[in-house]
Amino acid sequence: MGFTGELVLQKMTMNNIRVANALKPEKDVDGITDLNMGRLVRGDFSKGFVPPVANQANSARSGLSLHRFKNKKKKKKDLCVFYVSDIEISRAQTPKPVTQLAEEIGLLPGELEAYGRNKAKVRLSLLDRLHTQPDGNYVLVAGITPTPLGEGKSTVTIGLVQAFSAHLKLNSFACLRQPSQGPTFGVKGGAAGGGYAQVIPMEEFNLHLTGDIHAITAANNLVAAAVDARMLHEATQSDKALFNRLVPSVNGVRKFSPIQISRLQRLGINKTEPTSLSPQEVSRFVRLDLDPSKITWQRVVDTNDRFLRKITVGQASTEKGQIRETGFDIAVASEIMAILALADSLEDMKNRLARMVVGTSRRGQPVTAEDLGVSGALAVLMKDAIKPTLMQTLEGTPVFVHAGPFANIAHGNSSVLADKLALKLVGRDGFVVTEAGFGADIGMEKFFNIKCRASGLRPNVVVLVATVRALKMHGGGPNVSAGAPLPKEYIEENLSLVADGCRSNLRKQIQIAQLFGVPVVVALNVFKTDTLAEIDLVCQIAKECGASDAVPCHHWSQGGRGSVELAKAVKEAVSRPNNFQFLYNIEMPIVEKIRTIAQKVYGADDIELSPEAKAKVDYYNQQGFGSLPICMAKTHLSLSHMPDKKGAPTGFILPIRDVRASIGAGFIYPLVGTMSTMPGLPTRPCFYDIDLDPVTEEITGLF
């Protein structure tokens, strides 16, 4: 879950790839390191999920109990015996059949489409059936500004639902993002959580899942092929020839297709009889007249393929010299992924797909997917992807995996539909825990201002994930980077760094959540090197800074049991007053919306737009896109635009380099700095260690 975009603003130069590669990076707080070792012991516990409607669940009796970590001495001695990787933990636990899980959570058989035994798509008709059911409690997991190693939002999310469902006997659901395959085979590895807080089977989570990203790739690239082919055909044919082909005479009769009638209406031509068009109308109808220098639509692959960042296409002689420069993004950066995450029905998705703008005509008009005639086909390609995928945690509690848009050029949150389905399924007293990418200044802000605006849902609590490591960094500790050993400040007790980090970044992130009127619970993701004094200090200052509560979490080593205190704190917090409000009125001018975010969320003095950015704002206003929400594309490594400025920077002007728009997804995205939307492969990618035993069919090397 962590990925889907979090690499983007880390400048993946040759240099730091080399550093990152010199030592296998300590993948994440969730990954296996010398400091993090667990032992798997099978056992039994019961849990029950109380479905909100008929089909009462049977108590599930599959699961495992988790021993606490041995003491350090014992562990070192037993290193060979107890060292287990994430995939070994995942594999040691046999998931219950997804049909059983579905029954436990109250799905009817007809609402489930199994994909193998461990995952299933859930039909949207469920929303109709549970229409009158009250929603459960809605919990967002966000984080403080992270180190480049990540601070464990995904594992906190999974640990929390394990605690709710398997230990506190409260219905709960985790809603997670589907990870891109790129990083799985590239630098970062899998994204199913880690330790005893995982989604299983982790290899299915990390590989094709139920094909949604593949469907997005197919849809995205059909648009791209349609753009270039259309430009070629317009460049080489007369109006009449184009018309004859676009509206062919079949048995002597010419007829517009429905999608063509839509285009005519957008052009203000209220005719339905092809022969009645004037030559001028024919010309306007057949010529999208795309300006090759203003095509914004890129192709995508779900592979870290750096050589596709900038390419020239159309060099075969069959394309008649119509070459142009373009590029590929990683598939999860496709606008179609953002649409999947924001759509609240099949119809809404279809309409958003139709509105996607692929470029600008020579006369300065936006050209849409519907103008290309491709939007119906896109809806057909995406008809299954819109159904969330049901999986389970290590402790057999339900998880929806759905969508995973990039967290900068898009909004970095899992899908509206998964959240909505889950809120109905858990019922009034249940909990849905959903995760926002990056730090709270980005992921949470977009969750509130974009996702909640689209869904109409209102969150009850924010869980803000912090680590002693990241807090020390914000308190002035030395640089933390992937691949380099952690400096001693991060391994030894240092209360002063911790306190400074809490009083800068943690305080600011709590305040940001409070801007939206939502209570905050701080979840301290505990590492083995954290001392009791450090842990106590974080919890104490967090509460002083306005958190409803602050608790240490041990989900990595203990699973749900290690997050029971967090679950209790969240349960308590939902009873607190909640005065949710958006940060800005959607009708404010674009520049004012950007300024509001920069000042109130990031702590900037002001913003400064480049001439290009100003021109774009004018253009979007003129096109009627002025009342869309804002999706900032900013580094996640600082509250400011400067990755090196830790803590809570002030006194800076936020530069807006450019402004772009995803009209189908429905947001304007200002660029603060340079984006990379295509990660690369290092010298020794993860795939070197990934293998399949052809006899047992067991996978090794995914982590």
229-233 long-range contacts (CB < 8 A, ≥24 apart) are 230/288, 230/290, 230/372, 231/290, 231/292, 231/322, 232/314, 232/319, 232/320, 232/322
**Of 1, 9, 12, 191, the one binding a second copy by CB under 8 A:** 12
| Residue 177 known to be catalytic | yes
CB 64 within 8 A of CB 40: yes
Residue 659 binds to a second copy (criterion: CB under 8 A): no
Per CB under 8 A, the segment of 309-317, 357-365, 440-448, 574-582 that binds a second copy is 309-317
| Residue 657 known to be catalytic | no
**Of 48, 292, 314, 546, the one binding a second copy by CB under 8 A:** 314
Residues 335-354 that bind a second copy (CB under 8 A): 345-347, 350
Catalytic, out of 215, 343, 377, 407: 407
Residue 680 binds to a second copy (criterion: CB under 8 A): yes
Residues 361-380 that bind a second copy (CB under 8 A): 373-374, 376-377, 379-380
Catalytic, out of 205, 297, 406, 438: 438
Catalytic, out of 75, 96, 119, 153: 153
**Closer by beta carbon to a second copy, 37 or else 66:** 37
Nearest approach in angstroms of CB 648 to a second copy is: 32
Residues 155-184 that bind a second copy (CB under 8 A): 181
| Residue 556 known to be catalytic | yes
Residues 196-255 that bind a second copy (CB under 8 A): 203, 207-208, 211, 214-215, 217-218, 221-222, 224-226, 228-230, 232-233, 236-237, 241-242, 244-246, 248-251
Integer CA distances (angstroms), 392 to 117, 225, 553, in order = 12, 38, 20
| Residue 362 known to be catalytic | no
CB 381 within 8 A of CB 309: no
- Angle (CA) 607 610 614, round 5°: 90
- Angle (CA) 286 287 288, round 5°: 115
- Angle (CA) 175 671 650, round 5°: 90
**Closer by beta carbon to a second copy, 546 or else 685:** 685
| Residue 296 known to be catalytic | no
Cβ within 8 Å of residue 596, ≥6 positions away: 583, 584, 588
Q: Cis omega before residue 398 (within 30°)? A: no
Q: Of 264, 268, 316, 313, which Cα lies nearest the Cα of 292?
A: 313
Residue 284 binds to a second copy (criterion: CB under 8 A): no
**Of 85, 304, 389, 494, the one binding a second copy by CB under 8 A:** 304
Residues 493-532 that bind a second copy (CB under 8 A): none
Residue 465 binds to a second copy (criterion: CB under 8 A): no
Residues 543-602 that bind a second copy (CB under 8 A): none
Nearest approach in angstroms of CB 163 to a second copy is: 32
How is residue 122 written in tokens? Answer: 């859930």
**Closer by beta carbon to a second copy, 62 or else 137:** 62
Catalytic, out of 188, 355, 571, 595: 188
Q: Of 589, 698, 610, 701, which Cα lies nearest the Cα of 654?
A: 610
CB 192 within 8 A of CB 205: yes
CA pair distance 558, 453, nearest whole angstrom:
36
Residues 600-639 that bind a second copy (CB under 8 A): none
Residue 690 binds to a second copy (criterion: CB under 8 A): yes
| Residue 256 known to be catalytic | no
Tell me, what DSSP letter sits at residue 70? P
Tell me, what DSSP letter sits at residue 274? G
Residue 259 binds to a second copy (criterion: CB under 8 A): yes
Catalytic, out of 145, 147, 155, 389: 155
What backbone torsions phi and psi does residue 74 show, to the nearest 5 degrees?
Answer: -55, -45
Integer CA distances (angstroms), 462 to 141, 315, 448, 514, in order = 6, 52, 11, 9
- Catalytic site positions: 153, 155, 177, 188, 407, 438, 527, 556
